[in-house]
Copies of this chain bind each other. A is one copy, B any other.
Amino acid sequence: MADPYVHGYHAREHERLHDQAGALVDLLHSDTAYPSGAKVLEAGCGVGAQTVTLAQRSPDARFVAVDVSAESIAEAERRVRDAGRANVEFRQADLFSLPFEAESFDHVFVCFVLEHLSRPVAALETLGKVLRPGGTITVIEGDHGSAYFHPDSAAARAAIECQVELQRRAGGDALIGRRVHPIMTEAGFDAIRVSPRMVYVDSSRPELVDGFTRRTFTAMIEGVRESAVAAGLSDAESFDAGVRDLHRTAEADGVFCYCFFKGVGEKWRSAV
């Protein structure tokens, strides 16, 4: 997992991921629950934005949360402790060399991770190895090509494209959401079912105007301003105009749309 993490590791990014998890938790996770005693691997837990939700929603399952960043794990551990959860064990490890025995997990959960990897299918194959036959894998990813809005704005679209291009240069794919089904298929999982989780925001949904349009999506785009300018993908003025137009979609007559994709598959064969 040598690919650099395009969003960076700063405090403001931690805050953004936390807001994101708060606003979207029901949309993304309401149908994820693991039974009592199940052993679940969360691969790429980051700062624990999803880990707390998982641990709360399946209080009698045992989670093992793995991330490549020791700093992120420290933050995730703090959050899980603050939430009063004791059913999560943390391990620092690379996703491609997991320190676990084959078929040692009942379920695997991986959220907002594949988008950052140059070999997402290989990553899923690796995760398939530690999953027991009959177990499930859950994959959640966004897709920045699913973002459209009113008022439409070429400047805003160009700013988003900067983020997509930066992620591409870092080896990732910010448009991976639409590929969840083919990627899971290629990795050898069975009974794959992908469901879109569309975030639709207009002024009748003020919690999403603030929690998603402003504090999740626009904040994420704002977060790559320096990198985009440094990489010559935009000049500061054009980029700022794009961000301004994204904020404009959060006004009374604005609309913002985005889509996450959630895939659940099973492992039927003993050797994926």
Contacts and interface: CB of A to CB of B under 8 A. Distances in A.
Interface of A: 143, 145-146, 148-150, 152, 175, 178-179, 181-182, 185-186, 192-196, 198, 200, 202-204, 253-255, 257, 259, 261
A78 to B, nearest CB: 36
Assembly of this chain: how many copies? 2
B194 A196 contact: no
A97 B255 CA distance: 31
A148 B198 CA distance: 13
B196 A202 contact: no
Nearest to A186: B253
Contact of A148 (B178, B185, B194, B204): B178
- Ranked nearest first, the 4 interchain pairs of A and B with the lowest CB-CB distance are A181-B202, A182-B253, A196-B200, A150-B178
Given A193-B204, A202-B194, A257 B181 contact: no
A146 B146 CA distance: 7
Contacts of A143: 148
A161 B122 CA distance: 35
Contact of A257 (B146, B149, B193): B146
